[in-house]
Structure 1
Amino acid sequence: MSKTNPGRFFEDYSVGQVIQHAVPRTVSGGERAMYHALYPARGALYSSDAFAQDCGLAASPVDDLVAFHLVFGKTVPDVSLNAVANLGYAEGRWLKPAWPGDTLRSSSEVIGLKQNSNGKTGVVWVRTRGENQHGEIVMEYVRWVMVRRRSPGDAPEAVIPELAKSVDAADLVVPEGLDFSNYNFTLAGEPHRMSDYAVGEIIDHVDGVTVEEAEHMMATRLWQNTAKVHFDATNGPDGKRLIYGGHVISMARALSFNGLANAQIMVALNSGAHANPCFSGDTIRAWSEVLDLVETDAPGVGAARLRLVATKGAAGELKGDDGKYLPDVLLDLDYWVLMPL
């Protein structure tokens, strides 16, 4: 009997199934240093204990996307090892900061299934939760993936979950103690507070980064993401390794610093689509659209809903006349972030 893990295929999932993912991860300052080496991340709150303490926190937490990648990576051997593509995200919330010394683990519940008409693949929806060592939920999100079938067979009854188009502003969780009343704009890098932005505004983040194989492979290993499409060049018909979608998310988020340096803390992931594949040699640029602006109950803290687009093309260009994403668009991400009023 084989002792190796071939991964789950579409027919191995059932609605209501709960999967406890292996290999908890204790977070250290190493993840922060490596994250800043992989991406041009410069958010002051995630770079400086002193800056975070001036904002009411005990110290600088690990970047929100570090927590996301670690929680996500745990799920790959059970959810997307045999995936063709990661299709989207919804109903994501960061509920508690992750700190160096925290141990994160993940579990996922299958909430939807639909076999594709080709009979070779199907879509699996899961709700994933990441917990710390105290059993507190650090973050949760829904994602759906296209997964290969092991062999042809009857299609299960389709169950497609109803998902909210966005996280309601009232359901955003502000980290305990956060206070932007005495926010230091000079140290943060830009003078723009939330009231300087307008709904509908488009921000071109100007800079671009060309993705290389080495950094992508290092990042994917750092998050312990074992999906075959990211490692095995023989796994795809074109002989290319697909760049992990989370790598594109982090790159675009880091590039958004130029124009959104004070968009400090991600608190919700409303929706996300990996519109087109990204490969080594592609140059990623980013632009943002302001979708909504609200105040929170925390002193000096506002919440901005932003669309973040990673593209190989021009700022502001997203879809064609047919309503489909343009071929240069890599990522369309809708999220909430906290920033000074």
Structure 2
Amino acid sequence: MIGSELDAAGVHQPALREAYRQCRVLNARHGRTFFLATRLLAPYQRPAVHALYAFARRADDILDDRDTGLSPDQRTSELTALSNKLFTGLVDHEPCDDDPILAAVVDTARRYSIGWELFDDFLASMRMDLTVTDYPDRSALERYTYGSAEVIGFQTLPVLGTVVPREEAAPYAAALGKAFQLTNFLRDVDEDLARGRVYLPADELAAHGVDRDLLSWCQAHRRTDARVRSALMEQHALTRAVYAQARPGIAMLAPISRPCVETALTLYSKILSRIEALDFEIFTERATVGTPQRVVVAAGGLGRAWAARIRDRSR
């Protein structure tokens, strides 16, 4: 399967094929919902999306993988080394042959003319995770989500294609990336708190009588205090609104890409539904979309994807 995808994408050099293969493996292992949605893309689009995901995952793992046992200084050093090596490839056109993930993402950036500035913005947000543990207000959080999520939407737009000028579709792509990130913030409050971070605006929590100490109490007692539930309900509604902002952008994408993005939007928004179904008891159970639901949503998307590919071939 991966061989046919790489053939379709025009990737023929053996080492580069292996680099993309490793990116695909990483996506399949760690991005279950995302990987399922990428199966609905045309084969030639998938390697690039796998490469972009793998690079983002690589940076995220430097910051959050507790199994590595890295100290804060070591994480800073690793992220700096990753950044330097990436830009050596992107800007100076030096080979990254000894790092498959970087080799694949640099190749993707060149094939689709993805500007290095977007990677710089992404890494700027990743560097924030080295020192920033709380966000005082929405604008501070949005500075983080711009680089950590919105630029991912900008990066993928050239791969997905649009039927309108790209700059017209860009705000909707950014909104969808932001919606996915905000969903993760709600789902992962417990995990993030264990890492010493809170990705919810402090002033909006305080309006409900919530602070870090109360969140820590909820974590220790494995229950959601009524004040925390009220605050989470507000964040949940705000996140739903961002999905509504993003949805009109699907029609701006190339028809062959719409089933994938619509499926991803549906699956991620179902995480919000699951959080609500749990009555916001997020310290007891991690909200996930069950396999049966994922299969049903993906099956509908697959039918639309095949139809789109048939129409695309007939043109």
Q: Which TM-score applies when normalising by structure 2?
A: 0.32
More strand by proportion, 1 or 2?
A: 1
Q: Which TM-score applies when normalising by structure 1?
A: 0.30
More helix by proportion, 1 or 2?
A: 2
